Structure 1
Amino acid sequence: MKPRNAFYAQSGGVTAVINASACGVIETCRKHPQRIATLYAGRHGIVGALMEDLVDTRRESAAAIRALRHTPSGAFGSARYKLRKFEDDPTQYLRLIEVFKAHDIGYFFYNGGGDSADTCLKVSQLAERLGYPIQAIHIPKTVDNDLPMTDCCPGFGSVAKYVAVSIREAGFDVASMAKTSTKVFVLEVMGRHAGWIAAAGGLAAEQAADAPHIILFPEIAFDEDRFCARVKRSVEKYGYCAIVVSEGVRDAAGKFLSETGGRDAFGHAQLGGVAPFIAQRIKVRLGYKYHWAVADYLQRAARHIASKVDVEQAYAVGKAAVELALKGHNAVMPAIVRVSDRPYRWKIGMADLESVANKEKMLPRDYITADGFHITAKARRYLSGLIRGEDYPPYKDGLPQYVVLKNVPVKKQLKKGFVL
């Protein structure tokens, strides 16, 4: 059987370990030249496929590909671009198949979250409808940890570790100054609908007096009176109050506290600024001096403090995606299966994309304490294994050394361009 080519792309917000998945895909493809001739990567996700903007990964050395394992962000560029429904606009999907045909692509590996799983599923369905043989495999990735059918999502463990370490260190700082200065510190973290990242901050609090004293989750409606009373109690009891707040916290009416009014490319409300909002309410109601910080891109780019477990899982799902394709699977996703909590042990399984696409896994209510302000022992058992181990990148002159790929473009085969 003549070997065919493969296509890989990264989608949505990048992570500290998404390139480890790319490394797993590329290295595994290179081990099977009799089945996969060339692995092309799309520049800026699915946009690269639509625009026929491909790069030839053969032009990268083995050392450069190996270095992807410890390099953050998206080596080939990512994008927030959601394909419209096929029924509304079939041209985008037909264009994908046209590009795939032009480059003899028989394997489609798409690395992203729930929207990406939906795209992967639709490509598989359309290819079947048109009689074009292609195997579409979704590779899980999202710092939000909200994909179903997998124990966790690659990218989350490293963000969880960053947030837990950050709030612990900030807590020490505030505690040392609380007598005469700052009483309250607020750390804003990502998490639009699900509070997984905020919950991870709770790992830093091994004792009741430890930071964070309060966590605000998207799953729990914000009650200002109850919240301020809790802040006051913490300051009076411990001398200060450290808070982790998810960007997706809502009021009782369901409105985001931090909604700016804009929309992103996926149609989601643009969020940002819940930390200063919360801090200002504390100032107005209680008069405490405060500081706040927004982790923003720092939390998802912090490869220097990545979880070793997360790195290993990210590589494993990339490797498994290729192996599943070579075994003939289609419209599936390699999933992480938890074997045990203590010690945390896991293996790779498989999930159908119809069970993953456009679905969100929320933080379970029994992971949140009855008062709604912290995590339970059950949450701690789930989370603790995901941040275990260190996997430091190589350093030179005190700075981490990351790779920048050559990303040599592939010659276009189609005369006709495409307008997004």
Structure 2
Amino acid sequence: MPKQNAFYAQSGGVTAVINASACGVIETARKYSSQIGTVYAGRNGIIGALREDLIDTSKESASAIRGLLTTPAGAFGSCRHKLKSLTENRAEYERLIEVFKAHNIGYFFYNGGGDSADTCLKIAQMGESMDYPIQAIHIPKTIDNDLPLTDNSPGFGSVAKYIAISTREAAMDIASMCETSTKVFILEVMGRHAGWIAAASGLAAEQEGDAPHIILFPEIAFEREKFLARVQRTVQERGYCVIVASEGTQYKDGTFLTESSVVDAFGHQQLGGLAPALAGMVRSELGYKYHWAVADYLQRSARHIASQTDLDQAYAVGKAAVEYAIAGKNSVMPAIIRGEGKEYSWSISEAPLEEIANQEKMMPRDYITDDGFGITEAGREYLAPLIYGEAYPEYRNGMPIYTRLKLEPVAKKLATGFKV
């Protein structure tokens, strides 16, 4: 029997280091060329498999693949497409099997968050039920840092670094002008149900009184009067107030401050507009001059300020995924395990997808101060190592050099297409 090929795809919102995981997969698979054939990548995630729109990574040079280490975004394209159950949409699964059979694909590597873990698990189960075994390995990635069974998620450390630095720099700007200008600055960051990204802003503070003065977490119910009182007191004491707010900030009854009826492909409500909403409260109740900003895609695409720790871990989980497949493992995810002791260390271990898919890891309460507006020393000790180290890309003419792949398509073997 000829050696089987592999399929790799990127899913969901991309990160500054997701391509490092791709690099880890492809470079490691090439080392095991006697056991794994060609690594095909899905153009735009799982959609690429459904459409039989595959990319032949063997056409990319070793230097181009190595260049993925310092290139942001998703080199092969990503998507938000959640597979329904086999009983709800059998046609998609039959199509995947058809494509995998046509291209002799026996290894499936899916790089994403909790919903992607669910997709990976379903594909492994599908292979068993449809008599076409697929070794499905999930590769963790999410800036939200909400995957269970792993100490942290690749992609988060770089976002945490970006937010911490941006908070400190913006705070210095506001402090230098607050006598005659802006009194309140609000930075809105991502984080639907878990406040990890907002929490990272707390690393900006070096001593008592430093910004951020208020952090809003999804885990802590928002109280309007309590919030406004803290803003007023901070301005009176410090001359200005810097606020970092998670987009998922919500009231006690669970409704978001800025709830929308629009949902994405995963069924998640579209969030946004929290910063101007908070600014409106400050203006109407306190009358302070304000400015606000939304980190949005900037926080997850900022490869120029990535964390070396994050980069190393992103590569390591891609590498481990291939090694797990070679070892015959299935329905697992390489998880990051934090070492014991004062000096930060980490290793990789396997975690079962049944305990990861569709699960979320929230901020522990003891990482948040009693008043709900900051991070504790325990929270700082957890977060700080994840932003360690600088992983700057090379520059030319003042701009970072990023890899552009050939993305050569694989010849289609099936007569019919598939509408997604």
TM-score interval, normalised by the smaller of the two chains:
over 0.9
8 Å contact kept, 1:341–1:382 = no
Alpha-carbon distance in 1 for matches of 2:98, 2:342: 49
- Residue in 1 aligned with 2:133? 133
SS in 2 for 1:181: coil
* 1:417 partner letter: G
- Residue in 1 aligned with 2:195? 195
- Residue in 2 aligned with 1:41? 41
- Residue in 2 aligned with 1:144? 144
* 1:315 partner letter: Y
Alpha-carbon distance in 2 for matches of 1:184, 1:254: 26
Distance 1:34 1:314, change over 3 A: same
Structure 1 residue 340: Cα displacement: 3.1
Structure 1 residue 23: Cα displacement: 0.3
1:6-25 deviation line (CA, Å, top 9, x unaligned)? 00000000000000000000
SS in 1 for 2:235: helix
- Residue in 2 aligned with 1:326? 326
- Residue in 2 aligned with 1:68? 68
Alpha-carbon distance in 1 for matches of 2:86, 2:203: 43
Structure 1 residue 129: Cα displacement: 1.4
Counterparts in 2 of 1:153-232, with a 5 A limit?
A: 153-232=153-232
Alpha-carbon distance in 1 for matches of 2:354, 2:90: 20
- Residue in 2 aligned with 1:92? 92
- Residue in 1 aligned with 2:30? 30
Counterparts in 2 of 1:283-294, with a 5 A limit?
A: 283-294=283-294
* 1:273 partner letter: G
8 Å contact kept, 1:23–1:69 = yes
SS in 1 for 2:65: helix
SS in 2 for 1:106: strand
SS in 2 for 1:243: strand
- Residue in 2 aligned with 1:103? 103
* 1:373 partner letter: F
What are structure 1's unaligned runs of at least 5 residues?
Answer: none
Structure 1 residue 204: Cα displacement: 0.7
- Residue in 2 aligned with 1:405? 405
Alpha-carbon distance in 1 for matches of 2:163, 2:63: 31
Structure 1 residue 243: Cα displacement: 0.5
Alpha-carbon distance in 1 for matches of 2:80, 2:133: 27
8 Å contact kept, 1:245–1:275 = yes
Structure 1 residue 341: Cα displacement: 5.8
8 Å contact kept, 1:343–1:385 = no
Number of residues of Structure 1 aligned to a counterpart in Structure 2: 420
Aligned-pair identity (%): 67
Structure 1 residue 75: Cα displacement: 0.2
- Residue in 1 aligned with 2:383? 383
Alpha-carbon distance in 2 for matches of 1:186, 1:337: 34
SS in 2 for 1:262: coil
TM-score using structure 1 length: 0.99
Alpha-carbon distance in 2 for matches of 1:267, 1:130: 27
8 Å contact kept, 2:85–2:122 = no
Structure 1 residue 308: Cα displacement: 0.2
TM-score using structure 2 length: 0.99
Alpha-carbon distance in 2 for matches of 1:260, 1:359: 23
Alpha-carbon distance in 1 for matches of 2:208, 2:231: 14
- Residue in 2 aligned with 1:306? 306
Alpha-carbon distance in 1 for matches of 2:268, 2:400: 34
8 Å contact kept, 1:2–1:34 = no
Structure 1 residue 285: Cα displacement: 0.7
* 2:316 partner letter: A
- Residue in 1 aligned with 2:15? 15
- Residue in 2 aligned with 1:276? 276
Q: 4+ runs of 1 displaced by more than 3 Å?
A: none
SS in 2 for 1:270: coil
8 Å contact kept, 2:38–2:56 = yes
Alpha-carbon distance in 2 for matches of 1:22, 1:59: 15
Alpha-carbon distance in 2 for matches of 1:151, 1:400: 31
1:352-403 deviation line (CA, Å, top 9, x unaligned)? 0001000000111111111100001110000000000001000001110101
Give me the CA root mean square deviation: 0.8
* 1:345 partner letter: S
